[in-house]
Structure 1
């Protein structure tokens, strides 16, 4: 870990989740991100896939489209298990009996239909924490609606609040709902672990993607309530609640810079930089409310100023004056971000299937612990012999026979 030495104590501690074993049935983004965070915090994560591999592996046929699988499945062990066979179910129960956590993000009811839902597994292992990531939760009128990031963006209001007022709704580019759900699922499991330490009792936790993303609408909801319940317009790059100005993305000679003022100090510094201190006393910009009410004129003034700069020069000027800002960067700039590479949260590695790629190590840092070295994702079933043999205690012949009978 790249936390500076002066911020560390001399003693090395265990990583927070050392000794915790996680059975990972996650698929696509939601579940796998939660278990990736656990792996990078020191947990042993055993990823179970059907014999043909997890759904996201099929994207490997489309150029670099398998990169998301590699990003979310570093530092895991990989086994195959046929949960549609009696032998596969029996093996899974043996694994759950030795595990601390079982995590899945199947459609609600799937694990119960297989005979390995929480009610069954908790009888086998009362200390087990069973975590379920869902779109809408395990109960409620929308329980059985199919949930993907796109559909949750549509249902949650994310899509209605993204884009520009004179154009159709548009999804946010990143898979926000999947990852919001995964982050909250991680948090729910950690909370349950604290309770187990205190009581010895496991339990069932669930996280809904829809409910995970709702708090992020806070600015838009502020506008909704502030107008007496009118549906807010899409505000483009302006503040979602239309409660801040300036707050936008402004043009430069060679790109764009995001700029906002969240205090009068920032506003005064911006006018100083623009050479327009005369506007400090102008009635139309005299306070935040006035600036919001004259936002089109305000944005036009700022655009006229920013257009005279290159992106780098504008960033330097705004940084010097401590005005909140950031350049709008392309993906190649982000992948090669000097700051994140210096912190070690992005690393370039040689992946056995993808070659040289940049992968995340996760945003969480734990001072005074040994750094978790990034281990790339592996082939389908790469750890079958190790997990079923060394961990569950099956002989090589028994493992081979299971494979022959297509149980693994």
Structure 2
């Protein structure tokens, strides 16, 4: 193998060790991306497990936990004990990155502030995420995804104009923050490569969500209080038509056709080429003004079609559209399975299941094999004995003291 081939076959984060103190979705997604990039991720949990392990069975938490914690080594550690703090500091000496998403001030109250940990290891990159950030007037407000959706305008922008505000079905704020947290840590890692010095980075869920409502802000800026708060399935800025979910015989199909050539293709698909020169529909501006007519044309045709056949007819003419799919279809998506973005895994707790891989890929580099999430504390001996060098007697003493 040539030197160039060896470089190409190296996972980008090989040799990087991450201490993952995160919980639920936000932080664990950031560290999942690191693990699938080749980093050694040590998941540090309290003895009861991080909150996603202990939410109970009714919400089906085992699957999302498995999604977000592949390729991590779980250890237990009681950070409320002095011995537990000493253990964490020992790990910090050998780590490259520490990530947490506690409320602001928690690590300081434990005597484990980012500044004190970077005194131990100046190369340490300390990443944190919270609802509103570590400063500002909202600093101490408790935050979960639903709360953040409300504060960020997501809920008020979702739903139909004559109905109540509705939360997004997706945990947008959590995952937007997790993606940005990963990005901030990677920037700090790049900076460290040039300077040799680590940094403290943070991402707030509020900051990470703001940009996602760009279309809605644009309409509000242009129209002020006359702008509708909710636009249903139409464009958030009411600037594109057709842009809606249209009912077929067996479900719905969404169509987003911003360009004039898209509209001409749609007229061919629905058999209405007689309208190709109709001034009410010829330009995007005209279609937005006459959106009711646009929707009526599509709805009339769509009701005679099956959703998959209708979507395929549009796709064959390069019209941006998709059938509205159910979760069972999404979790067994042929495209994601073919590309390896979803992979069939025999999970020790869940049995055969499709688990996601990282969306971040390097051409020519095979995807790192998925190692299923492991039981609470399964890596205690591996990390405390194998990595830190504690003896079996010392580890047993830590267990007896309730530290691990």
TM-score (norm 2): 0.96
1:117 aligns with 2:113: yes
The whole-number CA distance in structure 2 between the counterparts of 1:324 and 1:351 is 36
Once the two structures are superposed, residues 42-98 of structure 1 have per-residue CA deviations (whole angstroms, 9 ceiling, x without a partner) of 000000000111111123533733211111001000100000000000000110111
Please show how residues 7-26 of structure 1 align to structure 2 within 5 Å.
Answer: 12-26=8-22
1:398 aligns with 2:401: no
Aligned to 1:172: 168
Aligned to 2:138: 142
1:344 aligns with 2:340: yes
1:105 aligns with 2:101: yes
The whole-number CA distance in structure 1 between the counterparts of 2:181 and 2:83 is 29
Once the two structures are superposed, residues 292-335 of structure 1 have per-residue CA deviations (whole angstroms, 9 ceiling, x without a partner) of 12212220111001111112221221122111111111111111
The whole-number CA distance in structure 1 between the counterparts of 2:82 and 2:186 is 32
1:87 aligns with 2:98: no
Aligned to 2:150: 154
The whole-number CA distance in structure 1 between the counterparts of 2:100 and 2:227 is 36
The whole-number CA distance in structure 1 between the counterparts of 2:194 and 2:58 is 48
Aligned to 2:302: 306
Distance change >3 Å, CA 63–CA 208, structure 1 → 2: closer
Structure 2 residue matching 1:56: 3-state secondary structure: coil
Given that residues 78 and 384 in structure 1 are in contact (C-alpha distance below 8 angstroms), is that contact kept between their aligned partners in structure 2? yes
Structure 2 residue matching 1:284: 3-state secondary structure: coil
The whole-number CA distance in structure 2 between the counterparts of 1:306 and 1:37 is 40
The whole-number CA distance in structure 1 between the counterparts of 2:37 and 2:201 is 20
Aligned to 1:286: 282
The whole-number CA distance in structure 2 between the counterparts of 1:9 and 1:399 is 42
The whole-number CA distance in structure 1 between the counterparts of 2:370 and 2:85 is 31
Given that residues 44 and 75 in structure 2 are in contact (C-alpha distance below 8 angstroms), is that contact kept between their aligned partners in structure 1? yes
Structure 2 residue matching 1:227: 3-state secondary structure: helix
Structure 2 residue matching 1:59: 3-state secondary structure: coil
Given that residues 48 and 54 in structure 2 are in contact (C-alpha distance below 8 angstroms), is that contact kept between their aligned partners in structure 1? no
Given that residues 161 and 228 in structure 2 are in contact (C-alpha distance below 8 angstroms), is that contact kept between their aligned partners in structure 1? no
The whole-number CA distance in structure 2 between the counterparts of 1:160 and 1:63 is 25
The whole-number CA distance in structure 2 between the counterparts of 1:60 and 1:360 is 22
The whole-number CA distance in structure 2 between the counterparts of 1:353 and 1:322 is 43
Once the two structures are superposed, residues 210-268 of structure 1 have per-residue CA deviations (whole angstroms, 9 ceiling, x without a partner) of 11010010010111111035453201111000000000111111111111212111011
Given that residues 15 and 370 in structure 1 are in contact (C-alpha distance below 8 angstroms), is that contact kept between their aligned partners in structure 2? no
Give 1:318's match in structure 2, choosing from 314, 317, 335. Answer: 314
Aligned to 1:75: 71
Unaligned runs of 5+ in 2: none
Aligned to 1:4: none
The whole-number CA distance in structure 2 between the counterparts of 1:307 and 1:232 is 28
Aligned to 1:44: 40
1:361 aligns with 2:357: yes
Following TM superposition, the consecutive aligned residue runs of length 4 or more in structure 1 with deviations greater than 3 angstroms are: 8-12, 228-232
Given that residues 16 and 41 in structure 1 are in contact (C-alpha distance below 8 angstroms), is that contact kept between their aligned partners in structure 2? yes
Given that residues 253 and 321 in structure 2 are in contact (C-alpha distance below 8 angstroms), is that contact kept between their aligned partners in structure 1? yes
Provide the alpha-carbon RMSD of the alignment: 1.5
Once the two structures are superposed, residues 136-189 of structure 1 have per-residue CA deviations (whole angstroms, 9 ceiling, x without a partner) of 000000011101000000000000100111111010001010000000000000
Per the TM alignment, residue 355 of structure 1 is displaced from its structure 2 partner at its CA by 1.7
Structure 2 residue matching 1:15: 3-state secondary structure: coil
Aligned to 2:375: 379
Distance change >3 Å, CA 69–CA 404, structure 1 → 2: same
Given that residues 64 and 354 in structure 1 are in contact (C-alpha distance below 8 angstroms), is that contact kept between their aligned partners in structure 2? no
Aligned to 2:190: 194
Aligned to 1:3: none
Unaligned runs of 5+ in 1: 1-7
TM-score (norm 1): 0.95
Q: Which moved more, 1:12-21 or 1:99-108?
A: 12-21
